[in-house]
Amino acid sequence: MKPAITAAPRKSLHRMKFIPLAVMAFALIACAKSADNPATAMKATTVTTTDNPFFSPSTLTFQYPPFDKIDVDHYRPAFERGMEQELAEMEAIANQGESPTVENTLVAMERAGAILSRVSSVFYALTSAHTNDDLEAIQSEMAPKLAAHRDKILLNAKLFERVKTLYDSRDKLDADRETGRLIEETYQSFVRAGAQLDEPEKERLRALNGELAELQTTFSQNVLKEVNASAVIVDSREELAGWSESEIKAAGDKAAERGLAGKFVIPLLNTSDQPPLASLHNRALRERIHNASLARGSRGGEFDNRQVLVRIMKLRAERAKLLGYDTHADYALENQTAQTVAAVNERLESLIPPAVANAKQEAQALQQMIDAEGGDFQLAPWDWAYYTEKLRRARYDFDAAQLRPYFELNNVLEKGVFFAAHKLWGLSFKERTDLPVYHDDVRVFDVFDADGSQLAVFIADFYARPSKRGGAWMNAYVSQSKLLNTQPVVANHLNVPKPPAGEPTLLTFDEVTTLFHEFGHALHGMFSDVTYPSFSGTAVPRDFVEYPSQVNEMWATWPEVLKNYAVHYQTGEAMPSELLDKVLATQKFNQGFATTEYLAASLIDQRWHQLQAQQVPSAEDVAAFETRALKQAGFDSATVPPRYSSTYFSHIMGGYAAGYYSYIWSEVLDADSVEWFKENGGLSRENGDHFRETLLSRGGSEEALILFKNFRGAEPDVRPLLERRGLIQTAE
């Protein structure tokens, strides 16, 4: 389960209109004080409107963005002209004298907003991947403007009347299946956005949307700023016992970059748990790192997010009530595959007891190890990862660090991820260096289909940097559409620590599976074969979008694939079979912790968004509210804290608001699908093509569960998930 964030900007009617609330929210986490590549630092210069590269389609392959021609001064005028153009297009559609037809209304809407789409896709990609102060300022300025722009379209009474006319007569129209879905989805988009409210209610809705756009931007910018500001400073090399020489050198280099020569800097990641806790021997340092991680956004100062969080939750609850829903969760879940709050609560409640029971068993085993070593202390959260690795070595004679020499980044990508894609779909990849990039670490590949035709352009951005938000995600710069005659330009982003110059990039096993996971999102975008951009690629329900990417993780350990890429970076020798056996034997190891921390975060997300406005606690009570919610659900957060606490839970500021449950929901489909592949022979063109034709290529052009059943031939079965996570016996 990889908490990837998929950001796929759309230019079409109901997708475009969610730019301020969805695309921005996925990509709104800005950070560094300056860009770290002078050649592409987006420095302000004087430009004229005729120079603006967003005003016309890129002439590069598949309209690949001309990063070398884009300057920070291009964004504001492109946003302004883009909004002006699209609004004029929508007004023309709304006010035309002809009776509404699919062509003169819905298709025209799908074609609208080209400039806004181009600038949004690049801008919000870079505010995630390579931001700076200038981009951050523009982002804050544009958030309320884009929210207002969205409302001008969705609350346009004449436009809605045309859409409603088509919706009311949809059964009489001779429309194909995808067009019929476009009619229904567009109508629902208007209704859910408030098109049926009276004018005073619409005015209040506009105010709510504008304030929410500003607050959500502030929250997520605070998160990443504090991640950089909260890095843990270590005074002596001795405190870093347990780390490799390469890791120590990297920490020293980071300190030197901050003017702290002779010291060491341990940066924080976006999650509660921090990777260094698994290997550092110094317990006091582990505690410092853990406490710094959990304190983010809640200790006062300029990055404190408590007031922002509380205000957002109140406004979301008020907006939901205004739109006719009991809570924001009811609103958010209505158009997901889960559909209801009750369904999500039932799924979480069924999984929490066995997960917590497994975590308690794991904690007992860790405590026994501590006691056996003469440790005079009780297991604490900052001890869990450290003693888990020791226990793993003791039980399986296996140290996770043994794997890294076999997981060199380029081998994993080209001989693992790309190799599996070739076996399943006949894809081939050719790296190119002639296309401009926004950072020197970025790589670009042409992707060719089995028949030799070019399918897509793939952008790979794998290294962490201060100008990049945490986590891993996919985004689309250009989405496939037959209507617009566009083909995909998609990107994958990871946060792999960059090694010192001249040293290889050796991945952890988790980073390997993340690489496969994110490429699953990329495939979803590349294989899209739909007419309307509204349904392209990953434009599917939030609790379905992770499913194809989770399925793609299976190939990371598929014997034929792993044998091809898991070779020692120095000797070229294949990973010993006994080491692979140990890897596979530990797949269910520590799943109690992993499942519990994830479910705890999902529970927090739901508890916030199932509140009425008057039930939202004060800023001072945020931590207590979270603690109460976890305790009532049966969690022991003192030992296994949630993967994210409320004040740095950036997922729920965007598309995952009341939707973080999506990963486990999608994993039910994923685990069941993995069983299908195994039952049908695994890694084969026949299986890959079936998955592509029935599901991956269809985007959002059909209901998600119908697509799943078209692929699987049956309803989803939860049992494979329970077996995978070692929960089956407790659940039964």
Active-site residue set: 518
What is the token pair recorded at 483?
A: 């209507």
* Gap between the Cα atoms of 58 and 69, Å rounded: 10
Q: Which amino acid is at 577?
A: S
Q: Which amino acid is at 19?
A: I
Of 518, 512, 453, residue with least CA distance to 490: 518
Instruction: For residue 433, give the DSSP letter.
Output: S
Q: What share of the chain is helix, strand, coil (3-state, %, to 5)?
A: 60, 5, 35
What is the token pair recorded at 108?
A: 């025209």
- Residue 514: count other Cβ atoms within 10 Å of its Cβ: 25
Q: What is the Cα 574 distance to its own chain's centre?
A: 33
Q: Which amino acid is at 103?
A: E
* Gap between the Cα atoms of 465 and 722, Å rounded: 37
Burial of 88 (0-12, 13-18, 19+ CB in 10 A): exposed
Concatenated DSSP letters of 697-714: GGTTSS-HHHHHHHHHSS
Residue whose tokens read 């973080």: 660
Please say whether the dihedral angle defined by the alpha carbons of residues 296, 300, 303 and 306, taken in this order, is positive or negative.
positive
> 56: Cβ–Cβ under 8 A, 6 or more apart, which residues?
none
- The torsion angle over the Cα atoms of residues 323, 327, 331 and 333, rounded to 10 degrees, is -170
- Residue 642: count other Cβ atoms within 10 Å of its Cβ: 26
What is the token pair recorded at 433?
A: 């260096």
Report which secondary-structure segment, H or E, holds 133: helix 133-154
Report which secondary-structure segment, H or E, holds 198: none
> Is residue 536 within 8 Å of residue 480, measured between CB atoms?
yes
Q: Which amino acid is at 250?
A: A
